[in-house]
Amino acid sequence: MHIAFICLPAAGHVNPTLPVVAELVRRGHRVTYATSAKYSKAVESAGAAFFPSGEDLAAFLPPRERSADGGPAPAPMAGMFAGMPSGMMSGLLERILKGAREEFPALLARLAEDMPDGVCYDAMTLSGKMAAAKLALPDIALLPSYATNEHFSMRDLMPGPPPPGMVEVWKQASQRINEFAAEHGVGHLQFMGGPPASLNISFIPREFQPSGETFDARFHFVGPCLGLRGNEEAWQPRAKDRPLLFVSLGTTPLNDRPDFFRMCLEGFAGTRWQVAMAIGERVEESELGDIPENFEVRPFFPQLEVLPHADAFLSHTGMNSTMEALYFGVPLVAFPLQPEQGANARRVEDLGLGRRLPLEALSPELIRETVIEVSADQAIKGNLEAMSARVRGAGGAPAAADAIEGFLR
């Protein structure tokens, strides 16, 4: 079969799909994969034919601001959407919609000239849902986070009502999206919501999904899909006899937190802990001051190589990172930067898999004490062992490929 994948251009969305693509290709199927050019190497390494579509999410953020003295301005505690003025949010959505208007016709033409047997699309992509509807193709939603049905919505995990003005922004955005869909003869289209696809592949285990028992046979909870990402490298801790802390706030530009990284340096300098700390692309190592000997600092680490050695993971609790920590049974200390990451952190705490750091009154001492306590907590270790077994038993890429094959046949 020929299967199209259309994915949101972000590592947390692309990475879980690549092992599924590789498994489908291994079984003799042909895959065309549409996302931004940043992921072309990874897509081609998985065996798919790459088609450029969409703009990397980093391009939607403004350049990093600097303070009056030329140093880095303090980064916001919240993420892209939380705390964003409604006018800025409206402009961001307008830019996303403008990009879709420019790119969708080319994507549609590519698929029409080499018609796939089905479309697998990231649940957060407008173009994927529209392409499946326009070409009347079997629709398969790829869910990197929680699934939604009549019993559970992601809104259930969000604290408090939306910020002032945001409801009106989303209402206007929905109207514009429906107008765009109508231009292409698709009709009413509910973006990031609405009825589920005919088949839904969730990259979390059913046990981590709130109200997981209420989801019917249209939903397959296959858990994290680990595999090649096109940027692999070997990594080993410097010392085998000392505990390892892995620190990472993810791969998006929202991990721009030099103040937080400096607190980690201060908290663990001179301790017996060895620390692998990923600071992202927007923070310069020179901003952090002297790097203690027990630290290894890089923009990014090969996360799947580091986690098997880690005794604790100080993480933003993006869903991809959370699932990988659970796969390897690593205790989580959460420092979420976006509302959805906060929802994951609360889920981690509710299930006894780690603990969340407070945003207020954070200090180097509190970071160190929390990491040490969580890494030694026997109840957390027991919960992690049970959840790790469920994560590994969910089926991963082979289960996802089985579901896709069975549905399309």
Domains and CATH numbers, the chain: 2-223+394-408 (3.40.50.2000), 244-393 (3.40.50.2000)
Phi, psi of 36 (to 5 degrees): -75, 160
pLDDT at 403 over 80: yes
Tokens of 409: 């046949």
Tokens of 66: 């600097």
Distance CA 273, CA 87 (A): 45
Model confidence band, residue 317 (pLDDT cutoffs 50, 70, 90): very high
Which 8-state DSSP code applies to residue 191?
A: T
Return the higher-pLDDT residue of 279 and 163: 279
Return the higher-pLDDT residue of 117 and 172: 117
Q: Which of 295, 291, 302, 278 is nearest to 244 (CA)?
A: 295
Helix (H) or strand (E) holding 397: helix 396-408
How far from chain centre, in Å, is Cα 88? 23
Beta strands in 82-128 (DSSP E): 118-122
pLDDT at 221 over 80: yes
Helix (H) or strand (E) holding 102: helix 86-113
Phi, psi of 62 (to 5 degrees): -70, 160
DSSP for 196-229? PPSEEEESS-TTTSTTGGG--TTEEE--------
Tokens of 94: 């307008």
pLDDT at 82 over 70: no
